[in-house]
Chain A
Amino acid sequence: MSVVQDIIKQMSLGAPGLLQEIEERAPQQLYATVAPEQVVATAKYVVNQLGGRFLITAGTDDREPRGDFCVSHIFSLDEEHIFLTLQIRLEPQDPQIQSITGIVPGASWAEREMQDLLGIRVVGLDDSRRLVLPDDWPEDLHPLRRDVPHDIRPEPVTGAEPQRREPPEGATVVAIGPFFPVLEEPAYFRLFVDGETIVGSDYRGFYNHRGIEKLGDSALTYKQVPFIAERICGICGFIHSSCYCEAVEIAIGIPAPPRAKYIRSIMLELERIHSHILWLGIAAHIVGFETAFMQSWRMREPLMWLCERISGNRKTYGMNQVGGVRRDLPTDIHPDILNVLDTVEKEWSELYSAIQDDTTLLMRLADVGPITPDYARAMCVAGPTVRGSGLPRDARVDHPYAAYADLPVNVITFDSCDVLARTLVRIEETLNSIKQIRVALQDMPDGDIMAEIEEIPAGREGICTVEAPRGEAIHYVLTGSNNQLARWRVRAPTYCNLQAVPGMLQDQNIADVPIAIGSLDPCFSCTERMEVVDCKTGSVRAYSHEEMINMCRLQDGLSD
Chain B
Amino acid sequence: MIIGKLKEAIICLRAGRVTLRYPFEPSVVPEGFHGQPQLDIDKCTGCGACSMACPARCIEITDEADQRTMLYCLDRCSYCARCQEVCPEEAIVLSSEFELATDSVDDLRVTARFDLVRCEECGEVVGTRREIEKLAAEMPEKTGISVDQISWLQLCAECKRKRSLETARDLQAPEQ
Interface residues of A (CB under 8 A from B): 220, 223-225, 227-228, 231, 291-292, 294-295, 298, 301, 305, 308-309, 311-313, 316, 318, 326-327, 347, 350-351, 353-361, 530, 532-533, 535, 538, 551, 555-558, 560
Evaluate contact between B103 and A551: CB separation under 8 angstroms: yes
Partner-contacting stretch, out of B73-81, B122-130, B137-145, B156-164: B73-81
| B175 interface residue (CB < 8 Å to A) | no
Evaluate contact between A535 and B24: CB separation under 8 angstroms: yes
Top 7 A-B pairs ranked by shortest CB distance? Answer: A357-B4, A358-B4, A354-B7, A312-B34, A318-B80, A227-B55, A224-B55
A227 CB to closest chain B CB, in angstroms? 4
Give the residue among A313, A326, A353 with the most B Cβ atoms within 10 A: A313
| B170 interface residue (CB < 8 Å to A) | no
Give the residue name and chain of the B residue nearest to A229 (CB): B55
Evaluate contact between A358 and B81: CB separation under 8 angstroms: no
| B168 interface residue (CB < 8 Å to A) | no
How many inter-chain contacts with C-beta < 8 Å in the A-B complex? 94
Evaluate contact between A357 and B30: CB separation under 8 angstroms: no
| B18 interface residue (CB < 8 Å to A) | yes
Evaluate contact between B32 and A312: CB separation under 8 angstroms: yes
CA distance A316 to B79 in the complex (A): 9
Evaluate contact between B53 and A223: CB separation under 8 angstroms: yes
Evaluate contact between A292 and B105: CB separation under 8 angstroms: no
CA distance A397 to B138 in the complex (A): 54
B34 CB to closest chain A CB, in angstroms? 4
Q: List 9 A-B contacts (CB under 8 A).
A: A295-B12, A301-B18, A309-B30, A318-B80, A318-B81, A354-B7, A354-B11, A356-B4, A357-B4
Neighbour of A558 across the interface among B3, B23, B76, CB < 8 A? B76
Evaluate contact between B7 and A353: CB separation under 8 angstroms: yes
B1 CB to closest chain A CB, in angstroms? 5
| B94 interface residue (CB < 8 Å to A) | yes
A238 CB to closest chain B CB, in angstroms? 13
Neighbour of A358 across the interface among B8, B55, B56, B105, CB < 8 A? B8
Neighbour of B101 across the interface among A291, A292, A532, CB < 8 A? A532
| B85 interface residue (CB < 8 Å to A) | yes
Evaluate contact between A220 and B34: CB separation under 8 angstroms: no
Q: A224-B53, A301-B18, A555-B105 are in contact. List 4 more A-B contacts (CB 8 A).
A: A224-B54, A227-B56, A298-B18, A312-B79
Among residues 23 to 47 in chain B, which have CB atoms less than 8 Å away from a CB atom of chain A?
23-24, 29-34
Q: Given contacts A224-B55, A228-B55, A555-B105, are A318 and B34 in contact (CB under 8 A)?
A: yes
**In the complex, per-residue mask of B1-23: 1 if CB is within 8 Å of any chain A CB, else 0:** 10111011001100100100001
Give the residue among B11, B53, B73 with the most A Cβ atoms within 10 A: B11
Chain A positions within 8 Å of B32 at CB level: 309, 312, 327
Chain B positions within 8 Å of A298 at CB level: 15, 18
CA distance A225 to B80 in the complex (A): 12
Chain B positions within 8 Å of A557 at CB level: 105
CA distance A351 to B10 in the complex (A): 10
Evaluate contact between B106 and A555: CB separation under 8 angstroms: yes
Neighbour of A227 across the interface among B7, B8, B23, B78, CB < 8 A? B78
A221 CB to closest chain B CB, in angstroms? 8
Chain A positions within 8 Å of B167 at CB level: none
A544 CB to closest chain B CB, in angstroms? 13
Chain A positions within 8 Å of B176 at CB level: none
Chain B positions within 8 Å of A359 at CB level: 1, 4
| B104 interface residue (CB < 8 Å to A) | yes
Evaluate contact between B12 and A291: CB separation under 8 angstroms: yes
Evaluate contact between A354 and B82: CB separation under 8 angstroms: no
B23 CB to closest chain A CB, in angstroms? 5
B85 CB to closest chain A CB, in angstroms? 7
Evaluate contact between B53 and A313: CB separation under 8 angstroms: no
CA distance A558 to B62 in the complex (A): 14
A487 CB to closest chain B CB, in angstroms? 19
Neighbour of B23 across the interface among A220, A292, A309, A535, CB < 8 A? A535
CA distance A530 to B101 in the complex (A): 10
Evaluate contact between A558 and B1: CB separation under 8 angstroms: no
A154 CB to closest chain B CB, in angstroms? 23
Among residues 79 to 129 in chain B, which have CB atoms less than 8 Å away from a CB atom of chain A?
79-82, 85, 94, 101, 103-106
Chain A positions within 8 Å of B5 at CB level: 358
B175 CB to closest chain A CB, in angstroms? 42
Chain A positions within 8 Å of B29 at CB level: 308
B45 CB to closest chain A CB, in angstroms? 21
Chain B positions within 8 Å of A227 at CB level: 55-56, 78, 80, 82
CA distance A193 to B35 in the complex (A): 51
